[in-house]
Amino acid sequence: MEKTITHEEYVKANLRLEELIDVVNDNTPTEDPLAQEFIKISDIIEKYEEIHFPIGLPTLQEMIELRMFEMGLKRKDLAALLNTSASRISDYLNGKREITLNVAKALHQKLNIDSDIILQ
């Protein structure tokens, strides 16, 4: 059974990692004691953060809004791209309407939104 990492251990690991970043790089041999310590400390930080700061999938609405921002689209532009109305886009983004299968396909193909996000 794995030992639970305390907040104090997490803070110490982060401080030590800051020091090691200056001396360990891609050219450091993996056998080097500092490289070994770097890996060990990185694992401690990762395990602590997985438990205390989990990152879930974004919602479909968040992903659509992100893609709209990235592509410089307004709701009317997105409606044209998805072959639907601007009011329907507003309903999707406000959670007032479930997306249709055709819209789901278009979101995946035209906005490159992962199907896991669409299906959640």
pLDDT at residue 11 greater than cutoff 80: yes
Work out the average pLDDT over 107-120: 90
Three-state helix/strand/coil letters over 34-79:
HHHHHHHHHHHHHHHHHHHCCCCCCCHHHHHHHHHHHHCCCHHHHH
Can you give the pLDDT at residue 1? 65
CB 85 within 8 A of CB 79: yes
CB 38 within 8 A of CB 24: yes
Amino acid letter at 54?
A: P
pLDDT at residue 93 greater than cutoff 70: yes
Residue-wise pLDDT for 13-68, tens only, equals: 999 999 999 999 989 999 999 999 999 999 999 999 988 988 888 899 999 999 99
pLDDT at residue 2 greater than cutoff 90: no
Which tokens go with 118?
């669409």
Amino acid letter at 97?
A: R
pLDDT at residue 69 greater than cutoff 90: yes
